[in-house]
């Protein structure tokens, strides 16, 4: 029972509990909060795997910006509790147990696999190494992602605009 294993088990338990909570909650805002907890637990796991830069990026970008977008949309749309309709009998008695069984089986088989990797410690600092890779080997995908983000911004702006027509000089808007 090394200390590393204890920390891993704690963080993993937190991540799984929060992920189950995402599914079990009826209000979307509670699901969003649970998902944020999952992301923070994963950031802790990244720290355990010595990827401190990605852990910080996960919290700043994923948990701190993308999930804020989710929370904003939930608040703007005033999303309330899900309707409580019972699942079909097939889903309740066959689907859900099969899904959980499949999940446990998958996890067990993957967890019990003994693969022999020979791990090498990182040659240089993590941030420095990532930036070297990002700006030398992966510079083309990096520039492409900036174009992708620009396209996403434009798309989101155009989609979320209200379809009210063009306002004229007199202040009245006409439907085009």
Partner 1 sequence: MQHDSLTAGGGRNVVSETIGQPSILLVSLVKVVVLLFLVLTAVAYLVWFERKLAAHLQGRWGPYRTGPHGLLQPLADGLKFLLKEDVTPAGADRFLYVAAPFLTMTLAISSIAMIPFGPASIRIFGEITPLVVANSNVGLLIIFAITSIGVYGVALAGWSSNSKYSLLGALRSSAQMISYEISLTLSIVGVLLLAGTFNLSELITRQSGHTWGILPKWNLLNPTFPQILGFFCYFVSAVAETNRAPFDLAEAESELVAGFHTEYSSFKFAMFFLAEYASMITVACLATILFLGGWLSPFPQIPALDWMRYLPSALLGIAGLALIIHGVRYSTILGRIALPLLGVVLCALAFLCSRPNVVFYVQGPFWFLAKVFVVLFVYVWVRWTLPRFRYDQLMRFGWKFLFPLALFNVVLTSFAVVMHK
Partner 2 sequence: MPISYYLALSAILFGLGVIGFIFKRNIITIFMSIELMLNAVNLAFIAFGRALGQLQGQVFVFFVIVVAAAEAAVGLAIIIVIARNRQSLNVERINLLKL
Site mask for partner 2 (CB under 8 A), range 67-106, x = bound: --xx--xx-xx-x--xx-x-x---x---xx--xx-xx--x
By the rule CB under 8 A, 133 interacts with partner 2:
yes
Alpha-carbon Rg for the chain, nearest whole angstrom, is 23
Number of residues interacting with partner 1: please give it, by CB under 8 A.
Answer: 40
Q: Which of these, 75, 16, 84, lies nearest to 45 by C-alpha position?
A: 16
* Pattern 73-112, partner 1, x by CB under 8 A: --xx------------------------------------
Q: Are 37 and 67 in contact (CB under 8 A)?
A: no
Q: How far apart are CA 98 and CA 101, in angstroms?
A: 5
Do the Cβ atoms of 136 and 128 come closer than 8 Å? Answer: no
Give the contact letters, 31-70, x = binds to partner 1 (CB under 8 A), - = no. Answer: --x--x---x--x---xxxx-xx--xx-xx--xxx--x--
């Amino acid at each position: 029972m090394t200390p590393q294993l204890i920390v891993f088990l704690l963080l993993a338990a937190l991540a799984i509990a929060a992920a189950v909570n995402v599914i079990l909650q009826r209000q979307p805002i509670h699901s969003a909060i649970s998902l944020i907890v999952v992301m923070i637990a994963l950031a802790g796991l990244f720290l355990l795997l010595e990827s401190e830069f990605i852990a910080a990026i996960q919290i700043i970008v994923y948990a701190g910006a993308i999930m804020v977008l989710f929370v904003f949309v939930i608040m703007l749309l005033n999303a309330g509790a899900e309707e409580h309709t019972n699942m079909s009998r097939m889903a309740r008695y066959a689907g859900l147990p099969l899904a959980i069984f499949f999940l446990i089986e998958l996890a067990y088989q993957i967890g019990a696999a003994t693969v022999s990797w020979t791990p090498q410690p990182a040659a240089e600092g993590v941030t420095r190494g990532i930036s070297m890779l990002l700006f030398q080997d992966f510079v083309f995908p990096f520039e492409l992602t900036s174009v992708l983000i620009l396209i996403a911004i434009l798309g989101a702006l155009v989609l979320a605009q209200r379809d009210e027509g063009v306002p004229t000089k007199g202040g009245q808007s006409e439907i085009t």
